[in-house]
Chain A
Amino acid sequence: MPYTKRQQSDYKLKKLNLHTILNTRKNINSEHNNMIINGVTIDATFAEAFPMKATRAIITAQNEKWAMISAQAMTGFATSVIACGCEGGIERLLEPSETPDGRPGVAIMIFAMGGKGLAKQLETRAGQCVLTSPTSALFAGIDGGIRIPLGKNLRYFGDGFQIAKVISGKRYWRIPVMDGEFLAEATTGQADAIGGGNFLVLAESQSQALAACEAAIEEMRKIPNVIMPFPGGVVRSGSKVGSKYKALNASTNDAFCPTLKGMTKTDLSPEIESVMEIVIDGLTKEDIAKAMRAGIQAVCDLGADNGVKRISAGNYGGKLGPFHFHLQEIMA
């Protein structure tokens, strides 16, 4: 007797569940070969990253508060190149002795898929977020590569009243604005960089996952030449390539969604209730590895006692990105 559609559907669901359970078991079994630090399992997997172009700019202001406001505006809506056009973040605070004009400052970094996109994003953001920000000034934060405009084109805002000054071989633009003068270096450098370094924190609860990520970010922010572009450095909506909807080329990473454990090919063991990801963009492979190590170590320091069970990473089978960051090698 032929199966009804409902029966066929139930059968498929049962088959999927069985597959999921088997698959989960397989994952759990395979964990026995994994590295364990303070009760936290480090998966034998790797993060897959891609070549990008990066630049750094230094924003200064009358005080740290306003330098930070300007920097946050400039690196706002810059979490992922997928829709933001670039990835950006605050690298670190700068002491007055470290900035060109002797005022408090912030170093920000912007990453994009190519030089043209990087230049466009940098200029647009500088124009809308730094030029507009009270008492701010903008300087190059990196040498080398093809120079890209910083204040070079913003000068036209000066409507002919702008003044160029070449000091020690660097050209600065003094643009008259309502609070005085906006000082901007004409250009900044760019560098070949890497984007998409990452690791996943798998914990027993949402609050424990977040606490672990916060600890990781605090340590990672001490590492130079890297940014963590997502809000607060943490992303909770990791994605996979492709979607059932044709219009989308990325969608939720269902294998790591804890609410789908029973209905998809999950990568989570039963005790995992929350997964969060930290994405790292950096100037070199070494910088990213260093940041990943610092972050993972901070997570492991909290350990299994604080609900952190596993560290994993996102990749595409190693076929798309030329840079692979093997978690166990990094933590060895």
Chain B
Amino acid sequence: MSALTFTLKYSPDQRVDMSPLVCQRLQELALADIAALTLQSGKRKLRVDELFTIDGSDTQNIVIKNSADKLDFIGKDLEEGNIYVVGDAGAYLGFGMKSGEIKVSGNAGFYAACEMKNGYLEVSGNAGDFLGAALPGNKMGMKGGIILIKGNAGERAGDHMRRGNILIEGNAGDYCGSRMSAGTIAVMGQTGRYLGYAMRRGTLLLWNQPQLSASFNDCGPHTLAFLPILFASFRSLNSRFADASVAFNRVRRYAGDMSEMGRGEVLVRL
């Protein structure tokens, strides 16, 4: 059984809500029924076959080809199954996903993995602002799972994050880990200003010395036993994080944000 493949026929003028095209919602449907589903695009409703040519039948493995950054909500509330996006993904990629796997070969827009609950999301390019964050007004962002960004992440990565791992091979923008409740964000590249702004708990694991605000206190150099276990959990990833040579257990620990609860930490490789 070959993967159910949606190939975008043209770049849509308006943004398209792709939330109906997730594995669990297509499971029981015939190809004709899938083609007849409608997707909200601006003020219009478009039939799936109006936008995409459809091939294959395996609803547990969905491929979106020629994807463009106007396709929003890809993999929304995904439960089991795999979605592979060839090209860019729009905003809210993997919104609230519960399990399964989403991979994007290009870039992802704003709010990727917003309020993600579990599963695995990989973006080969860059991710926009509010990666793994909470919706505006909501208090809990990502609650579990792994996000891997091979490029750079925008601002406010992990805003209100509650649990899980965000792994960024490139750089992270300003306010990385802002208002975090818990979880781990690892950044191999550079981080922007206001790192860990108002974070309550959680870990920011950095390969490079950041520009820290005055509300982070130096706790000195340490060898931490949990780091080898954390790095070992990345071994199966298709990522630089899986490389044993990038792992370390010797860090300088900064505690903060002292203007908030102050139980968070920034760990910088020594």
Which residues of A pack against B, CB within 8 Å? 100-103, 137, 160-161, 163-168, 172, 174, 180-181, 183
Contacts and interface: CB of A to CB of B under 8 A. Distances in A.
Nearest to B233: A168
Contact of B229 (A100, A160, A161): A100
A137 B223 CA distance: 13
Contacts of A164: 182
B95 to A, nearest CB: 22
Contact of B263 (A103, A163, A168, A172): A163
Interface string B224-254: 1110111011000000000000000000000
A181 B163 CA distance: 21
B225 A137 contact: yes
Interface string B203-231: 10000000000000000001111101110
A160 B164 CA distance: 21
Contacts of A103: 225
Given A163-B263, A164-B182, A181-B222, A101 B228 contact: yes
Contacts of B163: 166
A116 to B, nearest CB: 30
Contact of B226 (A160, A161, A168, A172): A172
B224 A181 contact: yes
A167 B228 contact: no
A183 B203 contact: no
A181 B230 contact: no
Contacts of A183: 225-226, 229
Interface residues of B, number: 19
Contacts, number: 45
A166 B142 CA distance: 14
Nearest to A161: B263
25 contacts: A100-B229, A101-B228, A101-B229, A102-B228, A163-B201, A163-B203, A163-B263, A165-B184, A165-B203, A165-B226, A165-B230, A167-B226, A167-B233, A172-B226, A174-B224, A174-B225, A174-B226, A180-B224, A180-B225, A181-B224, A181-B225, A181-B226, A183-B225, A183-B226, A183-B229
A12 to B, nearest CB: 68
Nearest to A173: B226
Contacts of A165: 184, 203, 226, 230
Contacts of B224: 174, 180-181
Nearest to A182: B225
Contacts of A168: 233
A161 B253 CA distance: 14
A186 to B, nearest CB: 13
B256 to A, nearest CB: 13
Nearest to B225: A183
A103 to B, nearest CB: 8
A180 B251 CA distance: 12
A160 B255 CA distance: 14
B17 interface: no
B49 to A, nearest CB: 40
Interface string B158-171: 00000110000000
A131 to B, nearest CB: 13
A170 to B, nearest CB: 9
B181 to A, nearest CB: 11
Nearest to A174: B226
A164 B222 CA distance: 18
